[in-house]
Amino acid sequence: MDVEVKIRGLMMDPSNNSPIVVLKDANSDTMLPIWVGHFEAHAIAIEIEKHVPQRPMTHDLLKNLIDHVGGRVERIVVTELVDNTFYAVIELNINGEKSLLDSRPSDAIALALRTDAPIYVREEVLEHSARMIITSGPEGEEAEIERPAAEESETEPSENIEWPDELDDDFTKYKM
C-alpha cells in the first residue's frame, strides 16, 4: 500500500551541512527524512518558494518535455530503501499509456512539485525507516543505525537525533 505524503520541510543536517527533505504522512504524524544533494535541494527550494529562474532548470525542462509529448505525471512513489539508499519511480501517463521511470527521490520530488503531482511512499519504506535512525550523509550515502527498543537502550536520549514535532512552514531556513 502507498501512503500519500506532503513536503513538510527542507532543512540542513547540522552535523554535516547536508540538505534533508522531510516528508510527512498526510494522515498521521509519521515523518520520513531523506538526505538529498545540494543541487537537488536547490531545485526543490526554488519550486517551494515559487522562484522563477531566468532559464529552465533541468526539472523544468523535463516537465516541458513531458507536456510536449502529451504526457502527464500521475504521481511519484518512493518505492524502496535498500542498503541505505532510497529509490523512487515517476508514474507517467503518455497518451493514455502508463509508463514508469526509475528516479532518485529528490528528482522525482522536484518534478512532482512542478507538475502538482501527488507524492507517495510505500508503507514498507515508512515501516523500515521508522525502525532506523538515519544519522547523516548525502542522498545515496545515508548512514543508519538500528534503533534499539526503549527498554534495551543504553544511550541517553540526547545522543539520538530528535526530529522537531513541528516544522515551520517558513521554508526560508534552507537558503538557495
Does residue 170 fall inside a structural domain? no
Does residue 121 fall inside a structural domain? yes
What range defines the domain where residue 55 resides?
2-147
Per-residue cell: 165:
514535532
What is the tally of structural domains in the chain? 1
Tens of pLDDT, residues 104-139: 999 999 999 999 999 999 999 998 877 654 443 445
* 3 state SS of 32: strand
Instruction: Please give the Cα distance from 16 to 130 (Å, whole number).
Output: 22
Does residue 169 fall inside a structural domain? no
Does residue 166 fall inside a structural domain? no
* 3 state SS of 133: strand
Q: Residue 34: what residue type? A: I
The pLDDT score that the predictor gives to residue 150 is: 28
Extract the runs of DSSP E, i.e. beta strands, from the chain. 2-13, 18-25, 31-35, 71-82, 85-94, 97-103, 119-122, 132-136, 143-146
Dihedral angle of Cα 94, 98, 99, 103, to the nearest 10 degrees: 100
CATH number assigned to the domain comprising residue 119: 3.10.690.10
The pLDDT score that the predictor gives to residue 29 is: 87
| Per-residue model confidence as pLDDT tens for the chain (176 residues) | 999 999 999 999 988 899 999 999 999 888 999 999 999 999 999 999 999 889 989 999 999 999 999 999 999 999 999 988 999 999 999 999 999 999 999 999 999 999 999 999 999 999 887 765 444 344 544 444 333 222 222 323 333 444 455 555 544 455 44
Does residue 176 fall inside a structural domain? no
